[in-house]
Amino acid sequence: MLTTSQILNFAIEDASTVLGNLRMDCILLVPGLSPLTWYNVSVMAVNLKSACESSSAGSRSPVGLFRTNETSLPHPVTSLVDTSSTGGGITLAWQPPFDRGVGMNDTLIFSLYMKPLTSNVWNLIQNDSRTSAWVMNLASETSYYFGVDTTSSAGSAGLASMLVKTFKTSGISVPGPPWSPFFVNHTGGSITVGWAPPSDDGGEKVTSYVVEVQGIDGTQLTSANQFTFYGLLASTAYNIRVAAVNLMGTGSASAYATLSTSAASPALPPTTPKILSQSGGAVRLSFTPPLDTGGVPLADLSYAVYANNVLVTTISHAEFVQSGSSTSSTRELSVATSDLESVSTLHHRRRLDASGSVTVGNLNPSTVYDFQVRAVSVQGGTSGGSPQQSGQTSQPT
């Protein structure tokens, strides 16, 4: 026995008025029933006389006994609308068919097709149970045909019977969101992420990307599909997202990806030392601390300085910065090789470059030395050596 329930969703297939008798004959289509099943059906007339159901409802008709037919092919979807559009994409939505042809527990599959107005060939865009789709990689200000075919366990209604509509993309617009960033590599102090370009470019080529870490001020701009964030803490999770940029501006951002740094690791090497000045028994060096500290605060680093591969001094970061603020009375020494190395625009340094210097003493006069610096932390260990810089002490004074 079926539980008695009120049918609120039905379609009037035919309605005719019998003149002189003040009577209207209606043929109703009631959805949501199961195949080969008997139903007791009665009808009640309702008017707008009163908001109270007991006053507005008439008497219920005698019960009629009806049986549904065998499983049949589903009808076409009842609507297909364009909910939004950009210069490179259209978002569509549709309602399932009124008559499914099968029971409510039978899953319907919706096949979305598209073709340009000048083509006779339908292209399958999406084929699953969803009732919406974002169609991308379209040309701006261009019209396309769209159609949705419905398939059930009984089969498909067929392309010839599907609901077809014409929709048009807008003018050039900002890009859609890229795919969520994915993990590429990490150290204790850095995370490298990559991402796929947005499928919806807004009808104009994507020229760059804006990447950011949630909770950290500022964003970074890159033209590549990969980016490295530096200056992070070891064993820490960060939320990272990216947005695409084209001629029209910056589009909406991707979903956040949560990625983590590794345990503390050796820092990257400092930059090539620059020799600032000399005397007969000492030289004064400057360099830039490493972009990747290995996941420790910059203040926890110290720097080991080598001359001709021999450790000659070790200085804390605080001493390095303090020494850089003092002035030197020794004269300038010409640099034998290149200046400080440039930092790639694809790398994110979340702090200002720390400036400082270190004075290396107990050297022999009129002697050439190759200087090298390594970054050291208790947690991460010792970094590789910086590129060497050659310089010569002056004559004895």
Same domain, 279 and 381: yes
Same domain, 279 and 389: yes
d(CA 312, CA 171): 66
- Exposed e or buried b for every residue in 335-356, given b needs 16+ CB within 10 A? eeeeeeeeeeeebbbeeeeeeb
d(CA 273, CA 335): 10
Calculate mean pLDDT across residues 223-231: 96
Whether the model pTM is above 0.75: no
Cα separation values, 145 from 132, 133, 157, 173, 257, Å: 16, 14, 18, 21, 36
Residue 255 identity (one-letter amino acid): A
Q: Residues near 90 by Cβ (< 8 Å), separated by ≥ 6?
A: 82, 84, 134, 135, 138, 144, 146, 167, 169
Does a structural domain hold residue 204?
A: yes
Q: Residues near 149 by Cβ (< 8 Å), separated by ≥ 6?
A: 76, 110, 111, 113, 156, 157, 158, 159, 161, 162
Does a structural domain hold residue 60?
A: yes
Cα separation values, 343 from 163, 230, 233, 370, Å: 57, 12, 21, 23
The CATH number linked to 310 is 2.60.40.10
Cα separation values, 160 from 94, 122, 298, Å: 18, 11, 68
CB atoms within 10 A of CB 288: 20
d(CA 374, CA 269): 6
Does a structural domain hold residue 266?
A: no
CA dihedral 347, 353, 359, 363 (to 10 degrees): 20
Does a structural domain hold residue 332?
A: no
What pLDDT was estimated at residue 35?
76
Does a structural domain hold residue 161?
A: yes
What pLDDT was estimated at residue 63?
81
pLDDT band at 324 (very low <50, low <70, confident <90, very high): confident
- Using left for φ > 0, alpha for ψ between -120 and 50, and beta otherwise, residue 223 falls in alpha
Instruction: Name which of 8-17, 61-70, 181-190 the model is least confident about.
Output: 8-17
pLDDT digits (tens, 9 = 90+) for 284-293: 999 999 999 9
Same domain, 256 and 225: yes
What pLDDT was estimated at residue 327?
42
Same domain, 110 and 204: no
d(CA 317, CA 356): 9
Q: Which residue's structure tokens are 């080598």?
A: 306
More confident residue, 218 or 113: 113
- Domain range for 34: 1-15+25-70
Q: Quick check: 383 pLDDT over 80? A: yes
- Using left for φ > 0, alpha for ψ between -120 and 50, and beta otherwise, residue 100 falls in alpha
Does a structural domain hold residue 292?
A: yes
Does a structural domain hold residue 306?
A: yes
Same domain, 106 and 133: yes
The count of structural domains within the chain is 4
Q: How many residues does the chain have?
A: 397
Same domain, 112 and 134: yes
Q: Quick check: 3 pLDDT over 90? A: no
d(CA 373, CA 325): 20
* Residue where a domain stops, chosen among 212, 230, 260: 260
* Residue where a domain stops, chosen among 114, 144, 168: 168
* Residue where a domain stops, chosen among 103, 136, 168: 168
